[in-house]
């Protein structure tokens, strides 16, 4: 078997990034600084145009990529990951889509359990200012007004404006 270390060590972090917010960025900065390479997995990649999942995987990819460029972080790659809706197979799904990795950053109990059962090293990722740095809060503020902008990196707001994301979210979450 080819040694994974030959290509350097990869860490993994997964989120839905609906949208990427300042809490995600705190973790991403920390992981990128601590790791040789960081793989950012875009979870639930197949969903878009839903009130809980308004943005496509490609739009989320652009948000992440633009922010990383703006921050000068280069030791990362982005991998969209569709849900399988079968937790016993999910780690294999992630493995099939990501460069080989050895460490996983997560504070989600299910994610931690699944990857530790599969033998991965789990690293804690603390939550920053969770009352406001949360995808759910950002989407709620987008629907209600303009208060979402301070909660996301500037480049994310630019991407959302470019794709008319707020109007999309308002329309799809409006009642019939």
Task: Please give, one letter per residue, the 3-state secondary structure of the chain.
Answer: CCCHHHHCCEEEEEECCCCCCHHHHHHHHHHHHHCCEEEEEECCCCCCCCCCCCCCHHHHHHHHHHHHHHHCCCCEEEEECCCCCCHHHHHHHHHHHCCCCCEEECCCHHHHHHHHHCCCEEECCCCCCCCCCCHHHHHHHHHHCCCCHHHCCHHHHHHHHHCCHHHHHHHHHCCC
17 binds ligand ATP (CB under 6 A): yes
Q: Which of 33, 49, 58, 107 binds ligand ATP (CB under 6 A)?
A: 107
> Which residues within the stretch 111-170 sit at the binding site for ligand ATP (CB under 6 A)?
125, 127-130, 133-136
- In the complex with ligand ATP, the residue whose CB is nearer, 11 or 125, is 125
- How far apart are alpha carbons 2 and 15 in whole angstroms? 29
Figure out which of the listed residues 10, 11, 12, 24 binds ligand ATP, where binding follows CB under 6 A.
Answer: 24
Nearest approach, Cβ of 106 to ligand ATP (angstroms)?
5
Q: Is 108 in the site for ligand ATP (CB under 6 A)?
A: yes
According to CB under 6 A, which residues from 67 to 106 bind ligand ATP?
Answer: 106
Among 23, 54, 153, 165, binds ligand ATP (CB under 6 A): 23
Question: Closest residue to ligand ATP, Cβ-based?
Answer: 23
Site residues, ligand ATP (CB under 6 A): 15-18, 23-24, 26-27, 106-108, 125, 127-130, 133-136
């Amino acid at each position: 078997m080819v040694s994974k270390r030959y290509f350097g060590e990869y860490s993994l972090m997964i989120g839905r990034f609906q949208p990427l917010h300042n809490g995600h960025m705190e973790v991403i900065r920390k992981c990128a600084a601590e790791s040789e390479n960081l793989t950012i997995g875009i979870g639930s990649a197949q969903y878009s145009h839903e009130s809980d999942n308004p943005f496509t995987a490609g739009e989320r990819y652009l948000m992440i990529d633009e922010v990383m460029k703006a921050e000068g972080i280069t030791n990362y790659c982005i991998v969209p990951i569709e849900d399988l809706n079968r937790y016993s197979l999910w780690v294999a799904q992630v493995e099939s889509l990501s460069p080989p990795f050895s460490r996983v950053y997560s504070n989600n109990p299910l994610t931690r359990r699944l990857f530790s059962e599969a033998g991965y090293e789990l690293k804690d990722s603390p939550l920053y200012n969770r009352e406001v740095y949360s995808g759910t809060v950002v989407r709620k503020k987008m629907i209600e007004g303009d208060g979402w902008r301070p909660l996301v990196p500037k480049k994310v707001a630019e991407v959302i404006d470019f794709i008319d994301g707020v109007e999309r979210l308002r329309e799809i979450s409006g009642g019939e």
